[in-house]
Each structure stands twice: as structure tokens, then as C-alpha cells.
Amino acid sequence: MNQLEQLSKMTVVVADSGDIAAIQQLQPTEATTNPSLILQASQQADYQHLLHNALKGNEQDIAAACEQVTVNFGCEILRHIPGRVSTEIDARLSFDTEASVSKALSIIGRYRAAGIDSNRVLIKLAATWQGIQAAARLEKLGIHCNLTLIFSLAQAKACADAGVTLISPFVGRILDWYKQNQPEQDFSGDKDPGVLSVKTIYNHYKSHGIPTVVMGASFRNVEQIRQLAGCDLLTIAPNLLLQLKDSTDPLPAALQPHTTQSPEAAKALSQAEFLWQLNEDAMATEKLAEGIRKFAVDQRKLEQLLQNLAPSR
């Protein structure tokens, strides 16, 4: 078996892409999207019909059209995978719990209108305190959430407290930060701080019997993926999936669940404790803020793209 096939035996493989053709070719179990991936795909000629469809009836409401675009891509992706698709809310709502809940309900409503069962959709929110509280409310309504832009154990703990379905701890962006701030250090292999962060979160969840599942994300190279083989899920860009597919080297499990027989309940974090622990972690604080800003930039670009396509009146 190639390494992609080996990985699929122990980890749910998720395509991190809005490129439907790539998803169709690689046949992952699930897929994730974000504003940057949707923007990238929206500029390809093959997907222009999804934008024009979203504009019908929404020519004067570009925000609604943007929302419909993300759902259109999600619906198309779901035609080619057996599992779920993650659809992200507007990053500019990352510090507004009420608006995040409202936006999530609207997205789910659009999926249901398209005949998609809400169990096939994960609503993706940034793991700010407000985003996590929005997810807690949505989960109680039966809407499953994927908390993204996770760079710290504090964020992972708060997500577990909120009962979210899935978290996406990042790998590559953590490595980027450490390489920039500590260029003299060796971060190869199992010394990669992004890999170590995901392992810490994974082991914390398993040792406490936490049902929230871990999906490693944001990979820079296949070695990072190999170091996390055995994680619940891994969301991987198409180019790295192809590299795994091209190798037949043995791929042993690097992570193994070791849930204790009588897991000791982890102490819930208060808002003050969460914010303080996040503040104490310079990397996590900076990368969370940067990630939100970058997604917001691409959200605006998508709005402008749709604005340019909308017929003038």
C-alpha cells in the first residue's frame, strides 16, 4: 500500500481544499474549506457557475451571496465524499457570539434548503472565547462544530468544555512562528513544535476521556503528517496527499489512544483563565489574531469578486 492508503487505515483523511476536481481525484473521506480556499477556488473558470448561482436573488446583498457561495461549494464537494464538509463563518464575527450563532444557523438553513442533512456539515469557527461559546450553543441545538485556528492547549481545553464535535489544531503555522523567532533551533522531525502541540492536545483528550475529536491541520510537509499518523483525523492539502500517494515506505502509527479506565474530569476553564493562558502564550496569541485577520482579508476579496460579477442596475 502507498502511504496515503496506510494512513487511511488509522486516520480519517480529510482534504483541505475547495478544489472539487482535486477532491474527486483523491477521494478523501471528508473535506474542509475556509475563506482563503473558497476564494482560491472561486477564481477558477470551472467553478464560476457556483458564483453566478449564488448571486441569483442576492445581487443587492453581497454578504448573502458570499454565504451562498460557501454553501454551493460545500454541496458540490459533498457529491464526491462520503463524510462531512466543514464550512467556515465570516472571520469578522470571531468576537461576536450572537452574530456567530446567527450566521451558523443561516448557513445550516441554506444547506437544508439544498437537501443536505445538517449532520454532513461542520460549522467552522475561530477558537476565540466568543467563538467557543457560540459553538457550545450550536452543539446544544444539534449543529456540529469544527473549532479552527487552535494553537494552544488552553483553546483545546475550552473547546472540550464546550462539548464541540471536532477541533483543528494547527501544525505548520506554529512551526512558521518558531522558525521566525528561533531560527537557530532544530525543529525537524519529532522536534517540530507544531507536531508536539497536536500530540499534547491529543494525549490530553485521550487521557481524560474527552469525546471531542482531534483533526491536525495546516501542514507544511509530509513529515509533519507522518509524525501525526494515527490522529483521529488529519486535513491535508491535495499536493501533500499526492506526495503520500507516491510513497510506499512503511508508515507506522505515531499516535495511539490511551484513554484511562476511569478518566479524571479535567477542570473547566473560566473565561479569565482562558484569556490569561492564551495571553501567556505569545505564539498562540499572535497566530490566532493573524489567522483571523488573514481570513477576513480573503472574505473581503471574495465579496469584491462577487460585487464585480453582479449585474449593475
Type of residue found at 311: P
- Average pLDDT (89-94) is 98
CATH class given for the domain over 3-309: alpha beta
Q: What b/e string do you get for 161-190 counting C-beta neighbours within 10 Å, with b at 16 or more?
A: bbebbbbbbbbbbbbbbbeeeeeeeebeee
Residues of the chain with pLDDT > 70, as a percent, come to 97
Residues of the chain with pLDDT > 90, as a percent, come to 93
Q: Is 60 exposed, middle or buried (0-12, 13-18, 19+ CB in 10 A)?
A: exposed
Domain boundaries, the chain: 3-309
The terminus-to-terminus CA distance of the chain in angstroms comes to 57
Q: Could you identify the residue written with the cell 503555522?
A: 173
Instruction: Indicate if the pLDDT at residue 312 is higher than 90.
Output: no
The pLDDT, as a whole number, for residue 59 is: 86
- Average pLDDT (122-142) is 98
- Average pLDDT (173-202) is 97
124 is catalytic: yes
Instruction: Indicate if the pLDDT at residue 313 is higher than 70.
Output: no
The pLDDT, as a whole number, for residue 287 is: 98
Instruction: Indicate if the pLDDT at residue 263 is higher than 70.
Output: no
Instruction: Indicate if the pLDDT at residue 311 is higher than 90.
Output: no
Q: Mean pLDDT score of the chain, rounded to an integer?
A: 95
pLDDT digits (tens, 9 = 90+) for 11-64: 999 999 999 999 999 999 999 999 999 999 999 999 999 999 999 989 889 999
Instruction: Indicate if the pLDDT at residue 122 is higher than 80.
Output: yes
pLDDT digits (tens, 9 = 90+) for 142-172: 999 999 999 999 999 999 999 999 999 999 9
The pLDDT, as a whole number, for residue 245 is: 96
CA pair distance 220, 240, nearest whole angstrom: 8
Type of residue found at 50: L
- Average pLDDT (253-275) is 80
CA pair distance 76, 220, nearest whole angstrom: 27
Contact in structure between 187 and 179 (CB atoms under 8 Å) = yes
SS (H, E, C) the chain: CCHHHHHHHHCEEEEECCCHHHHHHHCCCEEECCHHHHHHHHCCHHHHHHHHHHHCCCCCCHHHHHHHHHHHHHHHHHCCCCCCEEEECCHHHCCCHHHHHHHHHHHHHHHHHCCCCHHHEEEEEECCHHHHHHHHHHHHCCCCEEEEEECCHHHHHHHHHCCCCEEEEECHHHHHHHHHHCCCCCCCHHHCHHHHHHHHHHHHHHHCCCCCEEEEECCCCHHHHHHCCCCCEEEECHHHHHHHHCCCCCCCCCCCCCCCCCCCCCCCCCHHHHHHHHHHCHHHHHHHHHHHHHHHHHHHHHHHHHHHHCCCC
The pLDDT, as a whole number, for residue 257 is: 77
pTM higher than 0.85: yes
pLDDT digits (tens, 9 = 90+) for 270-290: 999 999 999 999 999 999 999
The catalytic residue among 103, 124, 199, 287 is 124
How do 233-236 and 121-126 pair as beta strands?
Answer: unpaired
- Average pLDDT (160-189) is 97
The pLDDT, as a whole number, for residue 259 is: 55
Q: How far is CA 238 from CA 28, 192, 257, 295, in A?
A: 10, 22, 27, 20
Instruction: Indicate if the pLDDT at residue 88 is higher than 90.
Output: yes
